[in-house]
Each structure stands twice: as C-alpha cells, then as structure tokens.
Amino acid sequence: MNKLIIPLVACIACAIIVSVTAVSVRPEQNLNIENEKKIKILAAAGIETDKVDEEFSRIKTVFVDFETDKLVTIDPAYDHIKAASNPNLSTVIPKADDIAVLKRRENIGTIYVWVDEKNAIEKLVLPIRGYGLWGTLYGYLSLDSDLNTVRGIEYYDHKETPGLGGEVDNPNWKSDWYGKRIYNDDGSVALYVTKGASSTDYEIDGISGATLTTNGVSNMIKYWLGDNGYGPIIKNLNEEIEKI
Ligand SMILES: Cc1cc2nc3c(=O)[nH]c(=O)nc-3n(C[C@H](O)[C@H](O)[C@H](O)COP(=O)(O)O)c2cc1C
C-alpha cells in the first residue's frame, strides 16, 4: 500500500498542474483565435497589416436578422457560430434548402462593413461556411461597394486534405476570386467553382483532385449569398446601414 502512495500523490499533483495550466492559458488561446479571425476578415478584404486592432476599429460590425432581413442592434459580444448550434438562437434548415449541409442557421448573422464618412459602403465581409469533403469549411467572402464584385475569400478553419481540398488556402487559387461577380442580371447567384480553368466572370478555377471540396465551396456561396442567407439584406444594405 505504502508503495502506491508516492505514485498516487505524483499523479494527483500532475493532474492538478495540467488542469490549472489548461484553465489559465484558455483566455490567451481565445484571444489568439479572435485575433486570427480578425486577420482573416481583413485578408479577405485585401488588407494585410500588423495593426490588426487599429484596422479592425474602422469596421462596422453589424447584425442581420435573417427573419426580417433588417439590421438589428444586439450585444456586440454575440457569436453567430455559437448561436448556430443553440436551438434557441437558430433555426433548422429544411433539407431541400440545406445545400451547404449546415443543418441549422443562426437567426442573427454578423457582417463586417467599411463605410466612408458619408456612411456609404466601401466594402464588406460576409462569414460563410459549408461542408466540403471531410468537414465544414469556415471562412469569409469580401465584396466591393457594388455588393456584387468579389474582393477576396479566406478560410480560417477546415479539414480538407493538404495538397487537394486544402488548396483553398493557396494564394494562387484565392487570387482568382478577385473581381469575379456573384449575381447575374436576374439577381440569382451565378458564381461557382468550375472544373479546370475559369473562362467567365462567374467562374472560379477548379482545383484538380478536389472536385468534392470545390463543389462544397460553390454550394456555400450559393447558400449564403442566396435568398436564405445574406441575399435579401445585400439588396437593402445601403438603406439599412444608414439607420444604424
Ligand atoms: C486520402 C484522400 C484524400 C482526399 N482529399 C480530398 C479533398 O480534400 N478534397 C477533395 O475534393 N477530394 C479529395 N480526395 C479525392 C476525392 O476522393 C475525389 O477523387 C476528388 O474530389 C475528385 O476530384 P477530381 O474530379 O478533380 O479528380 C481525396 C482522396 C483521397 C484518397
């Protein structure tokens, strides 16, 4: 019995040290995650800077009620990703509409808008997410002041295979998004990732060996920019932004 006391005490002491360390570094980890997201939001809009907080302070973070398609004022600490898995703050997406395989959509979304001194929109960033091959890809899509031309795309979290679906992070592929158009003349989402090289303003270059991931990318663009996502608010954003 005596022989067991020392290893037992050592085990308990180690467990306590590991737990205390894990808890004490958590705030810093959360801060790093937040900072990383801010860097990606800025990168989607074509901004690379060391002064992340300073640049971020120029952005209006606004909240979209997907039910009314109006901007609403809520607690700035609101986290739309957490809300999406909370049954009280999200809605089940009917299967037929769930082209991005999300299952639930938050009732209130978050978007990031740059405005000039007259409150005119200069550009914006929309969070997007959807299933690829191995899991959900989380990212941001940025649009120009016409709310139709793409400025950039960035993913901050995904499980796709490096060298295949993971090429969504390749700067060459991302650069093909710049200047592409989302909506065609009848207002429907026309942008998608093609197979092979793109040849129109509504096409993005395919990624070879990664058709399943890129189908997921096309589907999440269609969902989030469409009628069940940001589509309706985008059409009213100039008027809505003046109210807040
Ligand atoms: C180990 C492994 C990992 C793969 N990872 C991906 C991936 O991340 N994304 C993807 O679309 N396809 C991936 N694939 C390939 C798909 O199974 C499929 O063949 C491919 O998407 C078809 O694309 P293609 O039409 O461009 O060849 C992977 C295949 C293997 C064997």
- Report the b/e string of 102-140 with b at 16+ CB within 10 A: bebbbbbbbbbbbbeeeeebebbbbbbbbbbbbebbbbb
Residue 60, pLDDT score: 94
Q: Profile the chain (244 residues) by mean pLDDT over runs of 10 residues.
A: 80 79 76 91 95 93 96 95 98 98 98 93 97 98 98 98 98 98 97 97 98 98 98 94 83
Which residues does 15 contact at the CB level (< 8 Å), separation at least 6? Answer: none
- Give the 3-state DSSP-derived string for 117-161, with helices as H, strands as E and coil as C: CCCCEEEEEEEEEEECCCCEEEEEEEEECCCCEEEEEEEEECCCC
Centroid of ligand 1 to alpha carbon of 212 (angstroms): 6
Alpha helices in the chain (DSSP H): 2-44, 52-56, 80-84, 171-175, 211-225, 231-242
Q: What phi and psi values does residue 56 have, to the nearest 5 degrees?
A: -65, -30
State which ligand 1 atom lies nearest to the alpha carbon of 212.
Answer: 11
Centroid of ligand 1 to alpha carbon of 210 (angstroms): 5
State which ligand 1 atom lies nearest to the alpha carbon of 160.
Answer: 8
Centroid of ligand 1 to alpha carbon of 65 (angstroms): 37
Task: List all residues whose CB is within 6 A of at least one atom of ligand 1.
Answer: 133-134, 160-161, 164-165, 208-213
Whose Cα sits closest to atom 27 in ligand 1? 209
Distance separating the N- and C-terminal Cα atoms of the chain: 70
* pTM (2 d.p.): 0.90
Residue 187, pLDDT score: 95
Q: Residue 185, exposed/middle/buried by CB under 10 A (0-12, 13-18, 19+)? A: exposed
Whose Cα sits closest to atom 12 in ligand 1? 210
Residue 189 DSSP label: B
Centroid of ligand 1 to alpha carbon of 155 (angstroms): 18
Query: Which residue shows structure tokens 């809009």?
Result: 45
Centroid of ligand 1 to alpha carbon of 170 (angstroms): 16
Helix (H) or strand (E) holding 71: strand 70-72
Which residue of 159, 164, 207 sits with most ligand 1 atoms within 8 Å of its CB, as the best mutation to test the pocket?
164
Which residue of 134, 159, 212, 217 sits with most ligand 1 atoms within 8 Å of its CB, as the best mutation to test the pocket?
212
Rounded CA gap, 57 and 84, in Å?
Answer: 26
* Token pair listed for 12: 């308990």
Residue 1, pLDDT score: 63
